[in-house]
Chains A and B, each alone.
Chain A
């Protein structure tokens, strides 16, 4: 029998377009498994020539999934252009509230509606029930919680960014609105309920991981470096800080790196089979210098979390590995829920802070030509780098998104699961293919930059032989 290739295209319940190809030999052993991402090109060129103050709004066109992260990261970069080294308390806290609102709704959506079907029903369960609608049938309270938490986060975004689409709240040097008393009071009554549901979600994720540790520990797992921004004391800070990288054993490879120095420390490797680049630490090299980003990596590189309940949860999580980095891919779910609780605690803290009603919104300083910013988007570190000429036009833009930094890790996860679950199996079932998707979904990748309009094919699986002939095609949805 000839060699075969399986395509899973696109990856279901993951934003944007991705394709998994699994090459089998004549005995159904996996020869190679890869995740390909169709990346929309040209955005950096699109920004060139635009006035710098438009960029925080323009970058939201890049992605319908995490526009707030791009909005805030661009605003932070433009703070550098206008010389705003320190924002007013009102500006910084409004941005933080927007950011924690984004993280809260994104993590809630991922857990309740993208991952919970796999967790609640099992990776092999009938796909007819293994989806959010199955969750709605069997666990309606959980489904309502997820929807309500998502809506709460979206409302925070609307009130801080000004509107749901193409928000304008963050501007170079600050913000353009504060949070009125009425707006604050519309959010406060529900915060205790959000905290309670966040605790409950964390409990589910923790219990699931601990109770299934034997199966989950090797599932798509591998040793890796971990990266994220931390505050001056090494604590978690999702909005602002310096970059830290630790290796699989916990040794610190890079610490307190100023974002403006990223070009000295991080490079992006191009491989001929992938549109998406592969970032790595220059000092370590492309073979071993790649790293994971996102919730798991952030918890692994943080020495503490500055909210009490999330800090207790972090300490408990780290105790599983005796304080060393946790390299289990499926532990992303547990750490994502630690961040969900952390975000909710921060939202409560901020809503009770009178600085949000301040009126000193914008600062400026000495104009600069170049600026780099990094923010911890829900899926991991997001970098924006701009140069602006003396006519205020952007002449260079470079964006490194979190999913690109997780490119190598996701490919490793796909290869590991394919080897462990598909290699040598006589019949490749939908449930087995879902194992590959489960590993990818743990990273919550945003493969966005594709329009979603009517007529899109949700899922195609193609079996292709060595001669390139499609010998089997499956559609889902």
Chain B
């Protein structure tokens, strides 16, 4: 067999390419045959040092088999609502020999805190993310007096001032009492000359009872204000509540899961290897919509709509001008109708109609009656005829508009009440197969059903929901409600019976509580699939009916 020169060259090149590709594959697989799946968990908090409000946030990074990951950077962030909801980086820390990264932290507000911990991954480990919540139950010290060496005078100055005030009140009380009693006691038995002069008969001695009654009443009020009103909250309480003590109202996480199987997840954030969010990463996405099998994600804090690609990534479809008339910045809700995407845009209070290709087809100006507060829609649903329902949380109403935005009707207008018929904080809305409107009332922890004409029908979930955000109804009439506080989706029958919950901290089903739903928001049902948009963890898709 004769080997030509050309054949020899080709064979050599082929061998070289094979060797190169094999070496590349070997590089990609790493020393242990590929990046080791990592787990970020075991978040712990330490209480603040006595007399100070500082505490420690910590997270533990390990391989799936429990081997601690040492010397890896972990980034801690927190959801802040100052100047809009956003992720605020608190700082980063390296893991120690036990895989623990710790960060000193001083909360700047009281109440609930949601912390997001990210690890960007590396050549040896895969990226990981987790969240946890805690309550700082005492108002933090926003202001601390300067240390200028006058601690003792500063300590006693309020006491001195308080004593001076008490003295003044005491003197005033004494003067009034002595004058009132003295004048009354010195009243002559017979009418003196001054009375005779006027020719008017003397009135009988004035009764002291009204004056004394007034004094007693004033004293009682002062005592009530001073002693009985609750003292400053948290003065004796710990700053930090234990993890998991989040107050979810009366509702408790359900014991009984609803039959559903997690089939897909897409992370909400993309981070670099040090755990920092990439510039193009989504930022607290709130909702999703499905058009002809394509899933669109509402990238709330960046005013964008993203598409889920075939390989499970998020790709940009539409990016609005943040300050322009088509801005969808801070939008919390979107829906579909006739193959189009409708986004409730809060900046100008209008509705943006997008094609699946990412083009603005229409800007629908909302012509709702002026209300007390600016119109920032938080939920949207479109009827078969093209009429648009928008929830107006700030003004406690849901408005019905024509396809061109002309006002048609309103539910719960100007009503601030927790009764079932009215609305307190309407959020997500959805239509069922009969055209009935379902409104999540976050303020009353209920989901309320209204007829297509806006008549109240029923309310469900009052004792089973804590902080509901969005709702979806399947073909069987079952109601799926995302609950931010319970961190799960709760399912109700059409009549309101609680059927079970989906997701929860262990939605991923891997026994890792930190990898499940943390901040579920938008929900959507397509066929037998439930799509959940978790603002921190990303998109979760569940197959309903499957264990």
A and B interact: no
